[in-house]
Amino acid sequence: MEIHEIIRIVLTIIIGTIGLAAFGIFFGLLYKGLDRKISAHMQGRIGPPIRQPFRDIGKLFTKENIVPENAVPWIFHLAPLIGLVASISILLYLPIGGFPPLASGYGDLILILYLLIIPSLALVIGGFASGSPYATVGAQREMATMIAYEFPLAIIIVTIAWKLSATTVGGTLIQNSFAISTITSTPVWSVVGPIGFIGLILLLLALIIVTPAELSKIPFDSPEAETEIGGGLLVEYSGRNLAMFYLMDSVKTIVMASIIVALFFPYNLSNLVGLDAGSYPAYTIDIIFYLIKVLIVLVLSVTIIRVAVARLKIDQIVYTYWVPLTLMALIGLICIMWDGQFGLPRIVEMLGLV
């Protein structure tokens, strides 16, 4: 590979990463504003203006960055930066609109699963490093919550990848089933029968319920419960450190919604309206369609749930994810496993109808 080609690739990655970071931060804050506005109207309130998250971030960056006396300063400062960088890194492996992922490989889903843990670990480490008893309690709750929802999340991802790996297209088995590009090019809905369709719906519902816990939203926000532990993990954070945690949460909001869209709704509108792939009109309509899908996913998985359900206690959170939600994911897995053996053609054959 020639030197100018290497330079071009490096520049593309650098510029693309900056662009994705700006995209994730801007739309993450925008959707947080929309979420607060929609939830306020659902509760009969006016609510803050949609631009309020942008104001909050601007104000936080101008405030003094206070370090507690009992804190471990370098860990206290490093934790929010690591969390923000990890959240932005996940965006590199996700398709945005009609654009393919900036970085892709043979195990994107596994890498994304690991990267999703880092922001939560950053919160835990930052909480312990602050030296506050409230933050310590919040960090312990965050660890318990993280352990609880990771199992059903792993079941969902492995099930979808396994189904694609057992699927043939043109007489050839699909390769690299853990790659996001494979999932988006072969929507999982198109490779299942009636039983598998039911299984996918169960997996989708499970992932929707996992999302608010990943984002520490009501009813799964016990690590940050203001009325119980005064803010928990973030009780000692202020200034730019708190702003970075706020930005991390905003970017992770886009990440979780994009994961749901990529796994279950990877369709582009430009194909349906007959626009040429790669043209500017096609990219424009696909990006708009993607943003609409993200908004719908966030309303269903975050806004409606946190308005309709009160905060759960930590033991209730762990029970919810380890028992009913894990059971739901396992039933979805079983349905998809049975789909190939007891799909509609097989049932018809067994009944002797053909």
| Series of mean pLDDT values for 10-residue runs along the chain (354 residues) | 76 87 95 93 91 94 89 92 93 86 75 90 92 88 90 91 77 76 84 90 94 89 77 86 94 94 88 74 88 94 90 90 94 88 48 42
pLDDT of residue 126: 92
- pLDDT for the residue 190: 85
Give how far Cα 29 sits from Cα of 24, 36, 142, 323, 347, Å.
Answer: 8, 11, 23, 33, 49
- Which residues, 6 or more positions from 150, have their beta carbon under 8 angstroms from its beta carbon? 117
- pLDDT at residue 292, rounded to an integer: 94
pLDDT attached to residue 31: 94
Residue 78: the pLDDT is 94
Task: Write down the pLDDT at residue 344.
Answer: 46
CB 33 within 8 A of CB 57: no
pLDDT of residue 1: 59
Predicted confidence (pLDDT) per residue in 58-104, tens digit: 999 999 888 888 889 999 999 999 999 999 999 998 988 878 888 77
Contact call for residues 260 and 298 (beta carbons, < 8 A)? no
What pLDDT is recorded for position 279?
Answer: 76
Residue 342 has a pLDDT of 59
Number of domains within the chain? 1
pLDDT of residue 347: 42
Stated pTM of the model: 0.90
The residue type found at 75 is I
Range of the domain at 319: 3-350
* 31 half-sphere exposure, CB direction, 13 A CA radius: 31
